[in-house]
A and B are shown apart, each in its own frame.
Chain A
């Protein structure tokens, strides 16, 4: 608990802004239920994701954080065993109940996985991939965007001389930033990050966390993590989940300094 308090004091100095209660939400989850066969994975969830903030989905492993994240860009579609009901609105579109094309819904959200999965093409083509899928054919525009997004994630100087080599030659932290640049290149509104630092060393993790602090000026970030201290460091809004349910949600101040539920109290103690 001592470490947590110390961390919170540091973070308070850094960047925390309390979210006004009427903050504009970009994504709204209503009555979301997910079943895997008979197993009830997500139980009637209601969440609002505020715009241009970092929302952290926090909770012990297996509590349904990743499933909630995958519902948000309909990646649950590729798992036949999952049945999803309820609604998820991005601005005014319900993405769960739509006949609109799913790829364009997914392009509104950039996904960053637990470990980097670079496509089996060059560094250049990795970032170009999504841009081309959006129908951009002008090579100059593609080059411009590749440079812009690689700079955005601080990777440009490290890779500008080897854009046409394999991403396998990059360190795992660099690969993760490449994947982030690749996701940003499709111009998403929201970045969905599923424990993006779990495979990284502390320095690479810190780079990613710092990036998120910068990126929230332009994007909304939903970050899944079970690392409490990471949540404390970068969250503007916290959703604490346990056993498929949302136990508490609100600002980090409210949740971490004054947890209401016994589950969160236990988590805060065990997490340190």
Chain B
């Protein structure tokens, strides 16, 4: 290697390493800051209790209502996104592979929908809610968040499916599968780990989004029992408390942010664990 190439190589490596480690440091800094700022307010009461009178002025209670509300909304929305997203991604990837123009147009639209800010989904969900004569409720929140995350599930899973070699399609078809049998019995199984990634991305976005539930899910100190009742969510707990002039309340906002991070981390790790287990046991 000549000197120029060696310098180029070293420079590129140094730059890549700098980019990688600075990202890690920034992310670590964000998480540490949230935990440090919220540590004083983190308690079992916060996790297992609903807000009591005057909670938002520093009174007793916790945010169990928002934890449950956020889980209800994100699990509900992710379930809808799964039911709609899996067949849609398989259809786009397999059945539309012969119609490239339609396939590309649909992909383009989904990419655009992915990029639409969540406040727009919130506004749309709100308009839809009024049109249907609904109140701000768990159901309206679930539907709006589902609309927000469906493009994420479909496009992520679709991209994973695109990496599956055409040879596997051909092998499966030549054994006498119909396209749908191939899609569900072979291609879906092959792409299953990618599907889990898609769900996790979508779940993370759904549970962490404030703008889409601001108008649609409402806010309440109670734990919702029915779909037509309003519900609190963790992002809104953070949003409302962060603007408070009382330092203890602002500290609770950070504690809620830490909780949200822990929930996402826990769900992400357990889903990956289950996905690995499933891939193994699936063979039996």
User: Which A residues contact B (CB, under 8 angstroms)?
Assistant: 70, 73, 75, 77-80, 103-104, 106-107, 109-111, 113-115, 117, 119-122, 125, 129-130, 133-134, 164-166, 179, 182-183, 186, 192
Known contacts: A75-B173, A133-B177, A165-B283. The answer to whether A115 contacts B167 by CB under 8 A is yes
Judge whether B282 and A121 touch: CB under 8 Å.
Answer: yes
Which residues of chain B come closer than 8 Å to A75, judged between CB atoms?
170, 173-174
Judge whether B189 and A121 touch: CB under 8 Å.
Answer: yes
Judge whether B171 and A133 touch: CB under 8 Å.
Answer: no
A-B contact pairs, 23 of them (CB 8 A): A70-B170, A75-B170, A77-B98, A78-B97, A78-B98, A78-B169, A78-B170, A79-B98, A80-B99, A106-B173, A106-B175, A111-B170, A111-B171, A117-B170, A117-B171, A119-B168, A119-B185, A119-B186, A120-B186, A121-B283, A125-B283, A133-B181, A179-B171
Contact partner of B175 among A77, A80, A122, A133, CB < 8 A? A133
Q: Which of B175, B189, B192 has the most CB of A within 10 A?
A: B175
The residue of chain A having its C-beta at the shortest distance from the C-beta of B283 within the complex is: A122
Judge whether B99 and A106 touch: CB under 8 Å.
Answer: no
State the 8 A-B residue pairs at the shortest beta-carbon distance, nearest first: A80-B98, A111-B174, A107-B176, A130-B175, A122-B283, A103-B176, A117-B171, A120-B190
Alpha-carbon separation in the docked complex, A70 to B167 (Å): 12
Judge whether A114 and B168 touch: CB under 8 Å.
Answer: no
Which residues of chain A come closer than 8 Å to B170, judged between CB atoms?
70, 75, 78, 111, 113, 117
Smallest CB–CB gap between B52 and chain A, Å?
Answer: 53
Which residues of chain B come closer than 8 Å to A119, judged between CB atoms?
168, 171-172, 185-186, 189-190
Judge whether B178 and A103 touch: CB under 8 Å.
Answer: yes
Which residues of chain B come closer than 8 Å to A107, judged between CB atoms?
175-176
What per-residue 1/0 map shows which CB atoms of B38-63 lie under 8 Å from chain A?
00000000000000000000000000
Tell me what chain B mostly uses at the interface: helix, strand, loop, or mixed: helix
Alpha-carbon separation in the docked complex, A122 to B284 (Å): 7
Judge whether A164 and B97 touch: CB under 8 Å.
Answer: no
Which residues of chain B come closer than 8 Å to A79, judged between CB atoms?
98
Which residues of chain B come closer than 8 Å to A182, judged between CB atoms?
175
Which residues of chain B come closer than 8 Å to A125, judged between CB atoms?
283
Alpha-carbon separation in the docked complex, A80 to B94 (Å): 12
Contact partner of A104 among B172, B176, B181, B284, CB < 8 A? B176
B245 at the interface (CB under 8 A from A): no
- B153-177 interface with A by 8 A CB criterion: 165, 167-177
Alpha-carbon separation in the docked complex, A110 to B190 (Å): 22
Which residues of chain A come closer than 8 Å to B284, judged between CB atoms?
122, 164
Smallest CB–CB gap between B104 and chain A, Å?
Answer: 13
B100 at the interface (CB under 8 A from A): yes
Which residues of chain B come closer than 8 Å to A73, judged between CB atoms?
174
11 further A-B contacts with Cβ under 8 Å, apart from A78-B173, A183-B175, A186-B175, are A79-B98, A106-B176, A117-B168, A117-B170, A119-B168, A120-B186, A120-B282, A121-B283, A129-B175, A130-B176, A134-B176
Alpha-carbon separation in the docked complex, A109 to B168 (Å): 16
User: Which B residues contact A (CB, under 8 angstroms)?
Assistant: 97-100, 165, 167-178, 181, 185-186, 189-190, 192, 282-284
Alpha-carbon separation in the docked complex, A106 to B177 (Å): 9
Judge whether A117 and B98 touch: CB under 8 Å.
Answer: no
Judge whether B189 and A80 touch: CB under 8 Å.
Answer: no
Judge whether B283 and A109 touch: CB under 8 Å.
Answer: no
Alpha-carbon separation in the docked complex, A109 to B282 (Å): 28
Smallest CB–CB gap between A120 and chain B, Å?
Answer: 4
The residue of chain B having its C-beta at the shortest distance from the C-beta of A133 within the complex is: B176
Alpha-carbon separation in the docked complex, A260 to B97 (Å): 43
Which residues of chain B come closer than 8 Å to A111, judged between CB atoms?
170-171, 174
Which residues of chain A come closer than 8 Å to B168, judged between CB atoms?
117, 119
Alpha-carbon separation in the docked complex, A165 to B167 (Å): 22
Contact partner of A117 among B100, B167, B181, CB < 8 A? B167
Which residues of chain A come closer than 8 Å to B177, judged between CB atoms?
103, 133
Alpha-carbon separation in the docked complex, A110 to B174 (Å): 7
Q: Which of A78, A79, A114, A165 has the most CB of B within 10 A?
A: A78
Q: Which of B99, B181, B185, B189 has the most CB of A within 10 A?
A: B185
Contact partner of A106 among B97, B98, B100, B174, CB < 8 A? B174
Known contacts: A120-B186, A133-B181. The answer to whether A113 contacts B167 by CB under 8 A is yes
Smallest CB–CB gap between B43 and chain A, Å?
Answer: 46
Alpha-carbon separation in the docked complex, A132 to B206 (Å): 40
Which residues of chain B come closer than 8 Å to A179, judged between CB atoms?
171
Which residues of chain B come closer than 8 Å to A115, judged between CB atoms?
167
Which residues of chain B come closer than 8 Å to A183, judged between CB atoms?
174-175
Which residues of chain A come closer than 8 Å to B190, judged between CB atoms?
119-120
The residue of chain A having its C-beta at the shortest distance from the C-beta of B190 within the complex is: A120
Smallest CB–CB gap between A80 and chain B, Å?
Answer: 4
The residue of chain A having its C-beta at the shortest distance from the C-beta of B179 within the complex is: A78
Smallest CB–CB gap between B205 and chain A, Å?
Answer: 28
Smallest CB–CB gap between A182 and chain B, Å?
Answer: 7
Q: Which of A80, A113, A119 has the most CB of B within 10 A?
A: A119
Contact partner of A164 among B169, B171, B181, B283, CB < 8 A? B283
Which residues of chain B come closer than 8 Å to A80, judged between CB atoms?
97-100
